Structure 1
């Protein structure tokens, strides 16, 4: 059996010294790296690179960029590491038109604000003004004429308007876009009664609580009618059509009596 080779102390000393030297070099490199990183951080914090250079806003249409920046409380030149993104987001969510807000940093020193707004679902006619009504029921106090939103006439802020908006939210987009005007016309037997005037010339008599459920059948009903004969489609209880000529004949007969 062969005995293992035993190194003398003289042979081991150079290897121990080399090991210690390498270990000391690694420690020195680590300390130097850490030192320069700290210096770089101090220089960065003191330099313009740590200050907000630009604030970019995306997704806003109803709210101006100026108003968003003002409400967010974010300002150019502010230290980018001292901003409170959650507080800025909370401030933005307080804007009635804002449905969702995101605030994030973008390297090296820019702030990006992404806004998602509530969509206008109608516009209420008030003293010759056209005030947008959002899908959350908010009426904006700024006159804007929207091409695709139906006009709401004789409505006021309150239960009937809120319930109507809730119903309109359930409309398929193609049916909502087909509505030109909605008139609030309460009756003694139905305080929720309304008239809808469609872009294709038909008129609809309906009640707000069942409006969405009944209007989903409108394309099918309209397709079965003669497009040249206009009149009122009654969707209050069942569904039936009465031409304007019949309405006029009925009125004339009552007058003769």
Structure 2
């Protein structure tokens, strides 16, 4: 073996040893661990809820977080079903950002003194809420899961300007019309509608409401007309 080759091999071994030492020194130092955590993308969850669900702490190895990204995302979804997934970005190789992809809330139901969130995949979350924040409708008397899922899908298709004005949606079915519903609006009006046509007709609500001189009822169950509450219709 030539002296030149021996020199190359010796240099290579020294390089490998140096890399191993640096590698071990890095992972044994605070520089390898998460320093600051920022959460982005949450709407109805608290940032600390997400951090707790990921089980990432200031003692977690940053590299370990990225190597276990899919596993952490899946476990976070199990812990918080309204979270579709989480992904991570780092800054300065110390600071971690958790980006949350969250299912939108489509409303709530009230039962036994608590509110329960209904999310975009049709699931009713088991978390009990004494109160809630956000402008979401309350669904009442939708005792069958299929009926509740159907009305939330209808609500989702409505224009944002209309959705933001809806306070409560009631199942008001009768023998004559099992599709009948009543809607309480935040502006004080009430709407009588049919689930088969309400998503198309509600887009006319702002125009009809603007022409009303007094608060009252807008009936779009069959046709489309309105009358004040003090009218005996």
Describe how 1:153-164 pairs up with structure 2 within 5 A: 153-156=140-143, 158-164=145-151
TM value normalised by structure 1: 0.71
Matched residue SS, 1:247: coil
Tell me what 2:221 maps to: 236
Instruction: Rate the CA distance shift 1:192–1:100 in 2: closer, same or farther, 3 A.
Output: farther
Matched, 1:68 2:55: no
Tell me what 1:194 maps to: 181
State the 1:165 CA deviation: 0.8
Tell me what 1:227 maps to: 212
Instruction: Rate the CA distance shift 1:74–1:51 in 2: closer, same or farther, 3 A.
Output: same
Instruction: Rate the CA distance shift 1:48–1:136 in 2: closer, same or farther, 3 A.
Output: same
Contact persistence 1:55–1:113 (CA under 8 A): yes
State the 1:214 CA deviation: 1.2
Per-residue displacement from partner, 1:87-109 (whole Å, max 9, x unpaired)?
Answer: 00111233222134213444424
**Unaligned 5+ residue runs, structure 2?**
none
Instruction: Rate the CA distance shift 1:205–1:65 in 2: closer, same or farther, 3 A.
Output: same
Pick aligned residue for 2:117 from 128, 132, 147: 132
Tell me what 2:22 maps to: 40
When the two structures are aligned, how many residues end up with a matched partner?
Answer: 227
Tell me what 1:114 maps to: 99
Matched residue SS, 1:44: helix
Per-residue displacement from partner, 1:209-246 (whole Å, max 9, x unpaired)?
Answer: 322111012122233xx532444322223323344454
Which structure exhibits the higher relative contact order, with contacts defined as CA atoms closer than 8 Å and separated by 6 or more residues?
2
Describe how 1:68-87 pairs up with structure 2 within 5 A: 68-83=50-65, 84-87=68-71
TM value normalised by structure 2: 0.77
Greater C-alpha radius of gyration? 1
State the 1:183 CA deviation: 1.7
